[in-house]
Amino acid sequence: MDAIDIQEDSYKDLLKLYIDTEDEKALYGAEKISKSFIKQGITPEEIVNLHIQSLQEMYDDMPQAYLRGLDFLLETMISYGLALQEYQTLREKQLEIKSELKIAAGMQKTLLATTVPVVENLQIGVVSVAAHQMNGDYHHFITGKNGDIGIALADVRGKGIPAALCMSMIKYAMDSLPEDTMGPNKILKNLNRVVEKNVDPSMFITMFYAQYFPQTSKFLFSSAGHEPGFYYHGDTKNFEELKTKGLVLGVTSETDYPEYERTIKEGDMIVLLTDGVTECRYGDNFLSREEVLEVIQQHMHLPAQEMAEKVYKHFERLQNFHLRDDFTLIILKK
Amino acid sequence: MEPHSFIGIKKEWDIVGARQLGREIARKLGFGTVDQARIATAISEIARNIYLYAEDGKVTFETIEGMNHKGLRIIASDNGPGIDNISQVMEDGYTTSGGLGAGLPGVKRLMDEFDIQSEVGKGTIVTAVKWLR
């Protein structure tokens, strides 16, 4: 087929060609013209008007009734034209918002960046993926002056921008704490006060904080209503749920967070996660915690980082590569 | 400037009357079919606002004849409740009557110039101009 070069003013020619021959070529031309009209923001009423004018130029004897009918059609197109213009404006706005979000997400990444510490005899693996552009999960590692490691893991109920803004606050609050002197319970108690003062009560933030002392293998932890992690005992080959007490951050200004302690032995493993992991959905089904454990068990022979990545890939695939909630998984292996 | 013509808006049928008068003036000024239809739709929108929210008001038409250009000015004024947040009603996608692509942003698109003044408890004046090209 010959290439058809379409100009806007060829509407009339194409119309005439079609009326005379019913040629498919003319209809193909009409398709191209309509696309070029859309690109130029030409509204339906203008096209109907062009149509009327073309017909009048071709036929002197157009029946008055037909012409009136076409005027009527033109009138009904006005609102469609407006809807089209509105759509174009909204699309531009959406592009603007998208690019703003992209910048914000980049800023968040820089702001929340953390380096996984290298600790003798302890492997640390981390995967944290946002469901949308902005991440409502937060994790952070702190290395203290005496070599102890602080591990923070938080989750804002909800996702997107509000959650991300909350996370920035947590990050700043953490930065302003005198890190060396504080155990998990004190840190949570402090953050709770900050959150209670600054965050809307409808916003829930759960948080898990742990401190690990490499010299003694002691693992201290407290939790503010956070999804319980798992402790794998290498000797008995059993998983234990890390049950904790402690209110979600920001509910009341004065609350205490009990501190718990384990000593990590050779072959033990700790799994910390957010509910984006345990509330993975496939179809209409929620994953049970037992199923999560099964997946973890399948991959626990791997080094910690590889294991975390494999577990993430498994759930990503289970959800058809479309995460519904922010997903963070931290694996500590000795 | 020619003498003003106006239509009082009390019943829904008055919207039709306003459209008709506006279209006639537009045609006499030399506006083509498409612009006539756009002007009529703009009149509908602002007249309907009076009918729905203000109960009583009027739509006035003025022809503008300058040195080089002619135009039609439409002024809708009412003593209704007024609009508290004009920015909001001028936002795309915001209509209380559940319309699509119309409302006051639609009027702004249909016409060449648009202005709105409103005071809560006193009323609203919408002015829109279409120039003859």
What stretches of chain A adopt beta strand conformation (E)? 123-129, 137-143, 149-156, 205-213, 218-224, 230-233, 238-241, 260-263, 269-273, 281-282, 285-286, 327-333
CATH code of the region A112-333: 3.60.40.10
* A97 touching chain B per CB within 8 A: no
Q: Does residue B99 surpass a pLDDT of 60? A: no
Number of C-alpha atoms within 13 angstroms, CB side, residue A258? Answer: 8
* B91 touching chain A per CB within 8 A: no
Helix (H) or strand (E) holding B74: strand B70-78
CATH code of the region B5-131: 3.30.565.10
Q: Which of A46, A56, A71, A78 to mutate to test the interface with B (most CBs of B within 10 A)?
A: A78
* A52 touching chain B per CB within 8 A: yes
Query: CB count, 10 Å around CB of B9?
Result: 26
Q: Name the token pair of A65.
A: 């009734």
Q: What's the pLDDT at B115? A: 95
**Residue A263, helix vs strand vs coil:** strand
* A253 touching chain B per CB within 8 A: no
Query: CB count, 10 Å around CB of A324?
Result: 12
The better pLDDT of the pair B51, A159 is held by: B51
Query: Is residue A281 a contact partner of residue A287, using CB atoms and an 8 Å limit?
Result: yes
Q: Does residue B15 surpass a pLDDT of 70? A: yes
Positions of CATH 3.60.40.10 in chain A? 112-333
Q: Mark the ranges of chain A whose per-residue pLDDT is less than 70.
A: 1-9, 158-159, 179-181, 278-287, 320
- The secondary structure of residue B50, as a DSSP letter, is I
CA nearest neighbour of A43 among A87, A6, A93: A87
Q: What's the pLDDT at A280? A: 61
Alpha helices in A259-321 (DSSP H): 275-278, 289-299, 304-318
Positions of CATH 1.10.1240.30 in chain A? 8-95
**pLDDT band, very low/low/confident/very high, at B95 (cuts 50, 70, 90):** low
CA atoms of A304 and A313, how far apart (whole Å): 14
Sheet harboring A238-241: ordered strands across? A123-129, A327-333, A269-273, A230-233, A238-241
Query: Is residue A210 a contact partner of residue A185, using CB atoms and an 8 Å limit?
Result: no
Q: Does residue B89 surpass a pLDDT of 90? A: no
Residue B105: closest CA among chain A residues belongs to which residue? A86
Q: What's the pLDDT at B1? A: 46
CA nearest neighbour of A58 among A118, A108, A12: A12
Query: Is residue A134 a contact partner of residue A255, using CB atoms and an 8 Å limit?
Result: no
* Contact residues, chain B, for A74 at CB < 8 Å: 33-34, 37
CA nearest neighbour of A209 among A193, A234, A190: A190
* Contact residues, chain B, for A71 at CB < 8 Å: 33
Q: Dihedral sign, CA of A319, A323, A325, A328?
A: positive
Q: Which of 14-43 (B) contact A at CB < 8 A?
A: 32-34, 37-38, 40-41
CA atoms of A94 and A88, how far apart (whole Å): 10
Most confident of A130-139, B42-51, B81-90: B42-51
Count helices and strands (H / E) in chain A.
Answer: 9, 12
* A78, A87, A90: residue with CB nearest B37: A78
CATH class of the region A8-95: mainly alpha
* Contact residues, chain B, for A78 at CB < 8 Å: 37-38, 41, 110
Partner-chain contact A86 B40, CB within 8 Å: no
* A49, A74, A83: residue with CB nearest B100: A83
* B32, B33, B92: residue with CB nearest A90: B92
Partner-chain contact A45 B105, CB within 8 Å: no
CA atoms of A191 and A177, how far apart (whole Å): 9
Q: Which of A72, A82, A92 to mutate to test the interface with B (most CBs of B within 10 A)?
A: A82
* Contact residues, chain A, for B34 at CB < 8 Å: 45-46, 49, 74
Q: Which of A233-242, B54-63, B87-96 has the lowest mean pLDDT?
A: B87-96
Partner-chain contact A49 B102, CB within 8 Å: no
* A251 touching chain B per CB within 8 A: no
Query: Which residues pair with residue A239 across a beta bridge?
Result: A232
- Residue A219: C-alpha distances to residues A96, A172, A210 (Å): 47, 25, 7
Average pLDDT over residues B86-107: 73
**pLDDT band, very low/low/confident/very high, at B124 (cuts 50, 70, 90):** very high
Q: What's the pLDDT at A134? A: 78
Q: What's the pLDDT at A3? A: 37
